[in-house]
Amino acid sequence: MEHEDRIALFLDYENLALGARDHRGGADFDFRPIADALAERGRVVVRRAYADWSYFDEDRRMLTRSHVELIEIPQRMGASRKNAADIKMAVDAIELAFERDYISTFVICSGDSDFTPLVHKLRELNKRVIGVGVEGSTSALLPPACDEFLYYDRLEGVDIPPARAQRRPARPTGPDQRPAEPEADRLPEHEEPGRDVDSIAVQVAQTVAGLQGSANGEVTASRLKRTLLRKDPTFSESDYGFRTFGELLRHLAERSVIELAEGPAKGDPEVSLPEHGDREMAFGLLRGVVADLGSGGNPVALSGLKNQVRRARPDFSEKKLGYRSFLQFCKAAATAGVLDLRWSPEADDYLLTTSG
């Protein structure tokens, strides 16, 4: 109990509820998926929602059943009412940050960029900030300011709205119907990232390489997850089709992107990059391409070389091996004695030749 995060939840209810209805095909907003997501992150000790509740009669009952304190913002004209809700919510959050030291995490449920200064101030006060917003109505400025950002649309338990479900490929139903436009042939947005596991493999490999290079001790799964969230607060393994972060790591380990070993704590394995295997194969691939292009011992320019390597092996990516650039990968191959690499002022480029 002592190590549990204490969470204070603040809902800009008008922004959240109207955003859900406007961008999710008129679907009703459901608070339960947010409550469930936060229950996995700690103990919610404060729950407050701000709105003119005369506009949200049914929602008010739903929130009351979930033990949310409703803060009434009386109706005024236009933006004045909205500003009153925003200011009241910001003042209450800062007041709570000073008065309740035991609260370690603040959850700001809104997609409004006006709350960005509040997020910055809470983080200055050493509070962790989680944002929650509807994907279609969230400002691009807000997620990067948070420690973690959850899109409501992607939370477990949020139903697919009818508008999105209709985007699934459908058979023509009449003689005049033609195949839908390419956009309509895609899977729903929340399913698209699940197919792009290569992109997360690159991110994980780069991050592990950076953490190993910082020489701050072993790289554990929990440390890796925190770093990925610092890089991209919207990161979630569920977007790639995995139930847990550990499941994602095991998948990448099976593909030899990373290696897993027993860590200092149970359930928190140590993560590292493979020292051999794929890296040596990639060095061999590079040497072979340079040898083919530079037959007769002629040097091969670095410019355009990566394209030649990818022609030989389309799935090649130096980033999967933990290198930030193709040049860094070539330098590593030269250090390993696989080939020679030198800068040529005449060619204004790096030149590579096979050694031996």
pTM of the model: 0.62
Handedness of CA 172, 173, 174, 175 (dihedral sign): positive
The 10s digit of each residue's pLDDT in 290-336 is 988 887 778 999 988 988 898 888 878 787 777 777 888 888 888 87
User: Taking each helix axis from N to C terminus, what angle separates 326-335 and 305-312, rounded to the nearest 10 degrees?
Assistant: 80
Q: Where are the alpha helices (DSSP H) in the chain?
A: 13-23, 32-39, 57-65, 78-99, 116-124, 142-145, 162-165, 197-213, 221-231, 245-254, 278-293, 305-312, 326-335
SS (H, E, C) 252-273: HHHCCCCEEEEEEECCEEEEEC
| Token pair recorded at residue 30 | 């459901």
Residues 6 or more apart from 196 whose CB is under 8 A from it? 240
| pLDDT for 343 beyond 50 | yes
The 10s digit of each residue's pLDDT in 148-198 is 999 998 887 787 665 444 444 444 444 444 444 444 333 344 444 444 677
| pLDDT for 40 beyond 60 | yes
Q: How large is the greatest C-alpha to C-alpha distance in the chain, in angstroms?
A: 83
Assign residue 30 a region: left if phi > 0, alpha if psi is -120 to 50, beta otherwise?
beta
pLDDT at site 171: 42
How many Å apart are CA 64 and CA 83, to the nearest integer? 24
The 10s digit of each residue's pLDDT in 59-106 is 888 899 989 999 988 765 555 556 788 899 999 999 999 999 999 999
User: Taking each helix axis from N to C terminus, what angle separates 278-293 and 305-312, rounded to the nearest 10 degrees?
Assistant: 110
How many Å apart are CA 99 and CA 212, to the nearest integer? 39
How many Å apart are CA 7 and CA 132, to the nearest integer? 14
| pLDDT for 30 beyond 60 | yes
**Within 13 Å, how many C-alpha atoms sit on residue 294's CB side?**
20
Instruction: Return the closest-CA partner of residue 341 out of 351, 332, 333, 349.
Output: 351
pLDDT category of residue 140 using cuts at 50, 70 and 90 = very high
**DSSP code of 325?**
S
How many Å apart are CA 19 and CA 84, to the nearest integer? 19
278 vs 13, higher pLDDT: 13
Please tell me the chain's helix, strand, coil percentages from 3-state DSSP, rounded to the nearest 5. Answer: 50, 15, 35
**DSSP code of 25?**
T
> Which SS3 state, helix, strand or coil, does residue 344 take?
strand
> Which SS3 state, helix, strand or coil, does residue 165 take?
helix
